[in-house]
A and B are shown apart, each in its own frame.
Chain A
Amino acid sequence: MSVTAAIDVRGMTKRFGRLTAVDHIDLEVQAGEICGFLGPNGSGKTTFIRMLCGLLRADAGSGTCLGYDVIRESEQIKRRVGYMTQRFSFYEDLSIEENLDFVARMYAIPDRRNAVAASLERLGLAGRRSQLAGTLSGGWKQRLALAACMIHEPKLLLLDEPTAGVDPKARRDFWEEIHQLAAAGLTCLIATHYMDEAERCHRLAYIGYGKLLTQGTVSEVVAQANLTTWEVTGPRLMDLAQRLRSVPGVRQAVPFGNALHVSGDDAALLDRNTQPFRVAPYTWQSAESSLEDVFIHLMDPLSDNARA
């Protein structure tokens, strides 16, 4: 166990009745690291994050979060963690400023007024400080929530899809800020469905059906998947995709812009079985497997991971 690990948990498990939403997940995230948390809908990301900050009681598991026992010391953890919920959960009948002020008081921030003012400034909402939070647009609500969970300068950010519905410019600003904060020692666990965001993380953890399927840097994750991908161009690619999908060895054939990505985890088999399709008017080119190829592969109910 490393001393600098911000999150170091083993065997975290949560059951809802007969459903095991999180199934023995081990996760270690070093201080200052940005860890992307990925997985299909309903795979248990939110549930796992809620267990980390003491919002759900784990059925099994142990470990530490910021050095505090993740099961017993959730009070201490809550003080030092910024958690952004997936669903907007601030008071819609309070203004932006009042919401921030409430949070600042909750964390007993010494220089509350300045902290709120600085947060409004950074958010770019100083001019609309007295607008009711409920009347904000979806993306702005998201940005308010983000600002609020950082107001007490947490050591660890647990962000559950923080940029869902946020415009590209604001997303870029957000990632820039996250990287700056990480450089200063802040640790982030960010649940996201965006591939471009996943690629901006130092490390990735991918879960499916409550189990941790793969983790590592982007290139490690891609390498571990051991996926061979071909990029096909030509006319009527959808027809080709339809035919390719029934070919043994082809795990997926998905359109990417004007090209088709054909991939499989057995390179030789894929190569052999796709020979008949490598004729004019199609051009086949070997391509790097993208992160998305890997994730879609992991999600594929036929892949070994999902069946495990």
Chain B
Amino acid sequence: MARLAAMLVKEFTQMRRDRLTFGMMLGIPLMQLVLFGFVINADPKHLATGVVLADRGPQARTVLHAICNSGYFDFVRLLENEAEAEAVLLGGEVQFVVNIPANFSRDLLRGERPALLVEADATDPAATGNALNTLRVLAEKALEHDLKGPLAALGGSDGPIELRIHPRYNPEAITQYNIIPGLMGVILTMTMILITGLAITRERERGTMENLLSMPTRPLEVLIGKIIPYILIGYIQVAVILAAGYYLFGVPIAGSVSLLLIAAFVFIVANLAMGITFSTIARNQLQAMQMAFFVFLPSILLSGFMFPFRGMPVWAQYLGEILPLTHFLRLVRGIMLKGIGVTEVMQGLWPIGLFGVVALAIAAKRFRRTLD
């Protein structure tokens, strides 16, 4: 009993000394509550949609209104033609493109069942599923009001218009196609942040820091020296996931592998830099690990890995945009599933690079050359 008491007293005293750990114990559940309670939405609405409007007749307008009123589609861009539609879909700027072909109204009134073409970025089947289901119902009901009286016959048994949905990039809606490339980003985030997060705190804890600092070293030399070895580890992980995804799960690689490796490099370095920044702030390894955990949670939940990014409230999307994982997921899914090229990759890559540079700058600034 006395010995148990001894242990308890010691543990409580040590717990009290480590304020940060205590704070995290409260902070992490709070964060989870907020994220799961307010942010996660498995039925994403207001998805960015582009419109190619080749017919401006009243019926075309009615159809568009109906689509908009469903709440699932937000028209954000009016597109000139198919080529532009293709580009914004590829770049991930919109989730859908609604294409109203020329003579839509005329053909409708003639009872020729004009086509309403909807292209969807289906890389994440969860993001588009409900919206597309709604669309099927809409197409039939939308014109009920317009087609009354003598025109009612046009409603026919097949419906007045022909809805053509093209789920692009992942037409069979295979979840693995979306998850596996995403997993690459998640795994890199977890391991890379943690591995450098412990790097400097470990030197401090083991007392080797005093020796290291007594030698003629510059902060950047120490920091970069601690980052480079793990870039290699990161690449090994990328290779394993890529191979497993391709051979085991049949995930296609539509784009260029070397482009993927370049994107992965920037992403790995950004995460390592973030880890090393934590390492310069935390006082011990436990604190560094908790800081890493504090980033994992939002990274997994807000990045679009588990839940559709566009389903989150706007403020959460802004938060998500800060995270390197959010951008990397778009890149890796874009390269593997959509086959995006250099231009699109660069657009998504610079925020990751910027994040890395800022993190490294903070680390270099925080890195104490002295023991006090």
Contacts and interface: CB of A to CB of B under 8 A. Distances in A.
Interface of A: 16, 50, 53-57, 75, 78-79, 81, 83, 85, 87-92, 103, 106-107
A150 B371 CA distance: 22
A264 to B, nearest CB: 41
Nearest to B369: A54
Given A55-B213, A89-B209, A91-B208, 5 more contacts: A50-B371, A53-B214, A55-B214, A55-B371, A57-B372
A27 B208 CA distance: 28
A79 B211 CA distance: 13
Interface string B186-216: 0000000000000000000011111101111
Given A55-B370, A57-B370, A88 B215 contact: no
Nearest to B208: A89
Interface string B211-239: 10111110000000000000000000000
A79 B216 CA distance: 6
Contacts of B206: 89, 91-92
Interface string B351-372: 0000000000000000001111
Interface of B: 206-211, 213-217, 369-372
Contacts of B369: 54
A17 to B, nearest CB: 11
A105 B285 CA distance: 27
Contacts of B208: 89-91
15 contacts: A53-B214, A54-B370, A55-B370, A55-B371, A56-B371, A57-B372, A85-B210, A89-B207, A89-B208, A89-B209, A90-B211, A91-B206, A91-B208, A106-B215, A106-B217
A274 B52 CA distance: 113
A103 B210 contact: no
B207 A106 contact: no
A78 B369 CA distance: 12
A88 B213 contact: no
A76 B159 CA distance: 85
Instruction: Among A16, A50, A81, A107, find the residue whose CB has the most chain B CB atoms closer than 10 A.
Output: A50
A78 B216 contact: yes
Contacts of A55: 210, 213-214, 370-371
A107 B217 CA distance: 9
B371 A106 contact: no
A106 B218 CA distance: 11
A-B pairs, top 6 by smallest CB distance, nearest first, are: A89-B211, A83-B214, A78-B216, A106-B215, A79-B216, A89-B207
Nearest to B211: A89
Contacts of B370: 54-57
A106 B210 CA distance: 14
B226 to A, nearest CB: 13
Contacts of A88: 207
B215 A107 contact: yes
Contacts of A91: 206, 208
Nearest to A148: B211
Nearest to A93: B206
A106 B372 contact: no
A85 B211 CA distance: 7
Nearest to A77: B216
Contact of A107 (B216, B371, B372): B216
Nearest to A134: B206
